[in-house]
Structure 1
């Protein structure tokens, strides 16, 4: 395991927390997974290098686990709002510098932020938004960086097909920037003003979320 990867504590090994823990470990991070459910802990014993049965709402328990030495912690507790808040509060009191917490709704999220979470995630909401966007057949993939900015992969809209980018004026007309083009049977092309858009081209574009969504439907 790489010594250069920051250690991560994952509290709560449900679907969300378990997926985070397994993915981070595959990426080479040192991961400690913790949950109060003995059966769940046992199921992850062969999938994670380190996993413990522990009540991470208790600051004394977290101290025994060395939680203060972790660079980041993810609180994936979803069903028990009180437990998720107490876990975040305890991690904050121990001085963990980067605390990510799962929230079930906006109210839960605000409480987590006021308690000390540095990043609040709404996985169900984000997945719902993602599915809604991907139901648009032209919009193939979508990565949102914050509430207003995103990068997306989409089929070239018909109005710009057959035109070089300088002529289609995507930035001035549609407020999106075409970063690159993927053409069947060819490698990725970094876009420039002279790049000609052909039928069946896939575009990688950046811009505000609403502008990308509108661009995909022109």
Structure 2
């Protein structure tokens, strides 16, 4: 049973978001703010009703049903985000249906590694672990001196941290942080100024914030420097 606020054709840049829990809703809202055409879908009519006033295209559908996916017109979409997390069976069946439709880019949320591996095997092109990733991020911020941390891969991160005493007074253009610490300093923010790209003439000051890239261990060790 489909219930839609708006019947519409998808544009070439449109994105469909299936599953309007916290993750899916945040993705859909962010895409709308970025100017994308978004079709938001959920099997729960109450969620659909709650979002009907803020999302131009929102509908109720059982996306585990391949016929429903075709009726919605998802075969016309190039990018679909599956934000179903707690119902693993619904998540997997939805990705399988999208795979059968030949969707070029399927992004899917996984709640754990086994869930993620299954999604990959049935056709998901990109699997994300929002809770796991956020948990690791918070753990690193709580136990270390990092001010912010973004993990891009299993062993590559970019962090924001206060400049260690070992670098204060030195020229960033001359200090070889990669050889000494295994990280690259890619930006600096003075206490009373905006972030700047690294240039030869920047002298590190005591309260500077540094943007640093490198392996997870190297970034953590750098942030721990006194």
TM range (shorter): over 0.9
CA deviations on 1:75-99 (whole Å, 9 max, x unpaired) are: 1111111100000000111111111
Give the equivalent residue in structure 2 for 1:124: 131
| TM-superposition CA deviations, 1:110-162 (whole Å, max 9, x none) | 10000100111111100101111222563112222222222221111121112
Q: Runs of 5+ in structure 1 lacking a partner?
A: none
Could you tell me how far apart the structure 2 residues matched to 1:72 and 1:172 are? Answer: 42
- 1:209 offset after TM fit, Å? 2.0
TM-score by length of 2: 0.90
The residue matched to 1:99 in structure 2 has which SS? strand
Pair 1:74 & 2:81 matched: yes
Could you list the structure 1 runs, at least 4 aligned residues long, displaced by more than 4 angstroms after superposition. Answer: none
| Number of the residue aligned with 1:14 | 21
2:50 to 43, 46, 57: 43
Structure 2: runs of 5 or more not aligned = 1-9
2:105 to 69, 84, 98: 98
Is contact 1:166-1:193 (8 Å) kept?
yes
1:142 aligns with one of 138, 146, 149:
149
The question of whether the paired residues in 1 share the 8 Å contact of 2:149 and 2:157 is answered with yes
Q: In the TM superposition, what whole-angstrom CA distance separates every residue of 1:162-208 from its partner, at most 9, and x where no partner exists?
A: 22225542111111111111112223222134421110101111122
Q: Is the 8 A contact 1:7 1:30 kept in 2?
A: yes
1: distance between equivalents of 2:151 and 2:13?
A: 24
Q: Say if 2:95 is the partner of 1:88.
A: yes
Q: Is the 8 A contact 2:83 2:109 kept in 1?
A: yes
**TM-score scaled to structure 1, two decimals?**
0.93
Q: Give the corresponding residue for 2:115.
A: 108
Cα RMSD of the aligned pairs, angstroms, is: 1.7
Number of residue pairs the alignment of both structures matches = 216
Question: Matched residues in 1 for 2:193 and 2:27: separation?
Answer: 34
Q: Which residue of 2 aligns with 1:202?
A: 209
Aligned to 1:62: 69
